[in-house]
Amino acid sequence: EHKLEQKMVQLPQHMFHVAIILAALLATKHTAVGGPARQYFLSTPHNTTVTAGHQARLACSVGNLAGTCQWTRDGFALGTDRNLPGFSRYLMAGDSEHACDLSIDPVLPLDEGEYRC
* pLDDT-wise least confident of 6-10, 15-19, 58-62, 72-76: 15-19
pLDDT at residue 23, rounded to an integer: 28
Quick: pLDDT tens for 11-68: 343 333 333 332 222 233 334 454 557 999 999 999 999 999 999 999 999 999 988 8
How many angstroms separate the CA atoms of 105 and 63, rounded? Answer: 26
Strand-pair partners of 43: 61
Quick: pLDDT tens for 82-116: 999 999 999 999 877 789 999 999 999 999 999 99
pLDDT at residue 50, rounded to an integer: 93
How many angstroms separate the CA atoms of 100 and 42, rounded? Answer: 10
- Report the b/e string of 53-78 with b at 16+ CB within 10 A: eeebebbbbbeebeeebebebeeeeb
pTM of the model: 0.66
pLDDT at residue 37, rounded to an integer: 75
With beta carbons less than 8 A apart as the criterion, state whether 98 and 67 touch.
no
With beta carbons less than 8 A apart as the criterion, state whether 101 and 60 touch.
yes
pLDDT at residue 20, rounded to an integer: 30
Check whether 10 has a pLDDT greater than 60: no
